Structure 1
């Protein structure tokens, strides 16, 4: 998989050559716009709110983050399912560092 920054003049010709090569091969491709991850300000504000909520509710910041923020309020953003090596479906929680700025604003 290749990642190209089209704001960088050096990457533009490399991107065009790569796309033309894939086109000539008639390859199956997926093109995605890479969005920036959450900002430092968003992360700081989230932890401020979670810390305040935890102190008012009587739980730690981690408990507030996992139990309330991820599992209760934003289940659709954080819960993911995968199949483990034994073939069983396992549910896991994404890290908030994986969220884009748009997802972080939505949450």
Structure 2
């Protein structure tokens, strides 16, 4: 079950459920549910990643994996190495970021794009610029 602890009734229900599980000596897992990134954030991210790709000649996947994750935001995405025979790096999926982590990652990417590549990426409220990017990405078959 998922409970919103800010709601007094749901908080009370969660405590009751927890006590019952303790009485049963059950094996339980307690995790915090963080808000997932929004559809708007995801759409915005893909527009600016696509625009950066168009401007630099990198593929969308290269921009996302190599630049956005590994160069600009390794502290958010790098999970460490796994494997004893052949160590490989494990990188977190952007789908696992919550809204605040995604906001941080996007802002760092916008800063990087401007300072390192000389490419201005519009903010989320620059609708006209974002619409023109979307059209250009569709015309170049970078997004559907």
TM-score normalised by the chain length of structure 1: 0.74
Question: Mapping of 1:1-107 within 5 angstroms?
Answer: 3-6=1-4, 7=7, 12-13=12-13, 15-21=14-20, 32-81=31-80, 83-84=82-83, 86=84, 90-107=88-105
Give 1:17 shift: 1.9
The question of whether the paired residues in 1 share the 8 Å contact of 2:49 and 2:64 is answered with yes
Q: 1:69 to 1:9 in 2, by over 3 A?
A: same
The question of whether the paired residues in 2 share the 8 Å contact of 1:38 and 1:99 is answered with yes
Give 1:4 shift: 2.2
> Take 1:77 and 1:25, find their aligned partners in 2: how far apart are those partners?
38
The question of whether the paired residues in 1 share the 8 Å contact of 2:53 and 2:63 is answered with yes
> Take 2:29 and 2:75, find their aligned partners in 1: how far apart are those partners?
24
Give 1:34 shift: 1.6
> Take 1:16 and 1:57, find their aligned partners in 2: how far apart are those partners?
54
TM-score normalised by the chain length of structure 2: 0.57
Count of residues paired in the alignment: 102
Give 1:90 shift: 3.6
Q: Deviations over 1:22-48 (max 9, x none)?
A: 66689xx98653211110000011100
Which of 1 and 2 has greater Rg?
Answer: 2
Structure having the larger proportion of residues in helix? 2
Query: What root-mean-square deviation, in Å, do the aligned CA atoms of Structure 1 and Structure 2 show?
Result: 3.0
